[in-house]
Amino acid sequence: MTDIPRGDRQPQAAAPALSDVVRSLPVAVAVLDADGSIIEANPALIELLGMDMAAAHGKPLDVLSDDGATNLSALARTACDSGSIRETSFRARDRSGRTFAVSLHLSGIKGTGSVAVLSPVQSDDASEQHFARAFEAEREIVEQLRALDDMKNSFLSALSHELRTPVTAILGMARTVERELERLDPSDVKELTRRISGKAAKLDRLLNDLLDLDRLRLGMIEPVRRTGNIADLVRAVVDDLELPQRARIELDLEDVLASVDHPQAERIVENLVMNALTHTPPGTPIWIKTSARDRGVLLTVEDAGLGISPHLRESIFEPFHQADTAPHAPGVGIGLSLVARFAEIHGGRAWVEEREGGGASFRVYLPSGPAAR
């Protein structure tokens, strides 16, 4: 891969989780990319300098300096390249034209970028208190950046594996059909075609999950409700799934009429079933139940696996998080996050409990709402 010169790189955007953290901090903070250019700034920084931060986005950190003599961007690049902390001071100007001294603390994340915390120089006591708060905020942001970077690396590794495995299988089977078509029995061709279709369906589910996760983040998906029997919906999903022969699914379905978004409800069932199959021993049963609950429907998918540790019962519904009960299980940690988000936009919720007799009991409550006209 050809390196892109620093001056030609486009400014990136900070990760959504990091943006939320930065905006909530009471001290002035800017997030920088590897070139020392501003990609995120919080309201405290805008208030301190009275700048139009939209115009500053993508500009070098030097734009914050009034004296022009301090090469702040170079210092930020040094912090980024070495993953170290750098400190300096410079003079800034607020919107009224007043200049004042500012101390700058840069914490670099090696090869990724850096976090800049700005503190106006005040009297000794106030300055010490402000510095202490700024340092603590800086430390928290650096930890957030490191955690996001680790999550990104884990996700990309898992995603590449999840994409490569079915693609390799599809190519291998397609080439077998291409080379050996005249010598293969029709039953063999039919079986290979079925397996190719199954692998392609897995790829399609993964890509749809990724697209839906981004659409949900942007608020682009809303439920389109229609009334139907949720028991029939569950039966249809189970019948359509490409399940391994070892799968044992037991249904205990109460007929429940509810007005929900049927494609989203189907995705909830599908993701819960596939999650249970992924994290349970071969041959163990999976139980699916539906029941009426509080003018809506309660969907339960249970398994006889190792269960979910209490400290993970909330985080597993976050994107790219997986339980530690099966560290080598396939998956990229998307399915359960979609389950939770689809339930949330319905006005419901998703959670997990310990199953009586051992294992996990995943539950989703979807309130019935007015059907779309």
Query: What digits encode the pLDDT tens for the residues 258-273?
Result: 999 998 999 999 889 9
> Which amino acid, one-letter code, is at 72?
L
Q: Does domain 8-150 have CATH number 3.40.50.620?
A: no
Mean pLDDT of 154-170: 69
Beta-carbon contacts of 202 under 8 Å, excluding residues fewer than 6 positions away, are 166, 242
- At residue 17, the pLDDT reads 59
pLDDT, position 24: 76
Enumerate the CATH 3.30.450.20 domain ranges in the chain, comma separated. Answer: 8-150
- In the chain, list all ranges with CATH 1.10.287.130: 153-217
CB 21 within 8 A of CB 222: no
Q: Where in the chain is the domain with CATH 3.30.565.10?
A: 226-367
pLDDT at 129 (0 to 100): 58
- Overall pTM surpassing 0.75 (yes/no): no
Residue 2: per-residue pLDDT? 34
Task: Give the sign of the dihedral formed by CA 27, CA 33, CA 38, CA 42.
Answer: negative
CA distances from 131 to 86, 119, 136 (A): 14, 7, 9
The answer, yes or no, to whether residue 327 has pLDDT greater than 70, is no
**Domain 226-367, CATH homologous superfamily name and number:** Histidine kinase-like ATPase, C-terminal domain (3.30.565.10)
- Crossing angle between the packed helical segments 186-217 and 262-278, to the nearest 10 degrees: 110
Mean pLDDT taken over the chain = 78
Average pLDDT over residues 293-318: 88
d(CA 192, CA 130): 67
Tokens of 19: 């943006």
Which pLDDT belongs to residue 207? 76
Per cent of the chain over pLDDT 90 is: 20
DSSP state of 141: H
CATH of 153-217, one of 3.40.50.10860, 2.40.50.100, 2.70.150.10, 1.10.287.130: 1.10.287.130
Residues 202-241 have pLDDT tens digits of: 777 777 777 777 777 777 788 889 999 999 999 999 988 8
